[in-house]
Structure 1
Amino acid sequence: MGFREDLYDACYPVARGLVVRTQHGLKRRFSRMQGEDMRELWECAKTGNLAIDLLREALRLQDDAHVDAQYIHALFNMCGFLTKEELRSTKAIHGNTIQVWRGCVMAEHASRAYGFSWTTSEYIARWFAARGSSDTASVVLQAAVSGDDCYVLHTSESEIVVLGDVAIQEVTPCTWEGFSVAWDHLQAPVQPCLVAA
């Protein structure tokens, strides 16, 4: 077994505990180490998201089933999941509308069942869309979202986790043509852009 598999297995009891406590409205503090392990699981996937997969398994859902936002909120509120800087950035966008982008396959856009992970960088969204466009149509979505329903992650992907409604403003087709997909060309994390009211 590899690192990802070991981490997944080690985090399963934590995810199951989080699910049960959330379903029953119980507040249980998880250790900082458990929160950090769940964050590591969030970050270590090559495709998809292992933390979401683990929550699906703990909830006994089908592989492609949507995980309700209440469980993602519980995950992000675990001690140690977010850094102090991420907590400050998340609080700073509350009460504001922010601009986000997401690169996805056309089927996701057509279904309107968007994933939780968005970015504050149009370039990064284009990278994700171009990566998926070698065998299927891909698009870059531009949207406005309420900062009250988001978590800011200080990652190389400038990730914003969106748990509320998404107001799509623009849809742009994307292909590999003329696009540099080298990950090391990505810029430093981009701070959330507030949209004027």
Structure 2
Amino acid sequence: MADQLGLGVTSTHAYKLLQEPELTSQTLDDIATVGASLAIIPGGIAHEEFSSLDGLRRTADILNGIAEKAAGHQIRIGYHNHWWEIEPTFDGRHAVELLADLLEPSLFLEIDTYWAAVGGADPAALLTRLGDKVLALHVKDGPVRQGEPQVAVGTGAMPVPEILAAAPKAARIVEFDECATDLFQALAASRDYLVGLA
């Protein structure tokens, strides 16, 4: 279908790599079939693992192990945050920052900028500190409160221009966990806003 529509698939979320390790090889083959070279683990690790150094080490070991298997398929593994990887801090650093230090060099982060803000981070400052470890951004907007729906990018409380400037080379992916308005209108408005910033 993607071929028929003239679309390329550069990355995909891949819960199965974490949830069904016995299918890792098949899942990686499927990801390669659609042409994606980046596979992102979008959660699925217990929230509590991000509240201790030992938990962060265990998480890094899991992700590094998946990355080692994926390398044989020419696929890089990434991790996508929510608020629970941001809220815990260690000597002023967010848990996701310590996790980044423990990941093998081939691993990358897809930072959900909205959940970073909900978790208490300054998204632009976080992106600056993470540097080239970040290959992709989820760009969202809204009231920056957990449990409330998002709105079209550029119409909420997020400092979108500053965020994008902090990670100029990262892919920009508009996402809605829950939309306060018509989803397709919000997607179109978000695209128009982001194109206007370029």
Calculate the TM-score normalised by the size of structure 2. 0.33
Larger strand fraction of residues: 1
Larger helix fraction of residues: 2
Calculate the TM-score normalised by the size of structure 1. 0.33
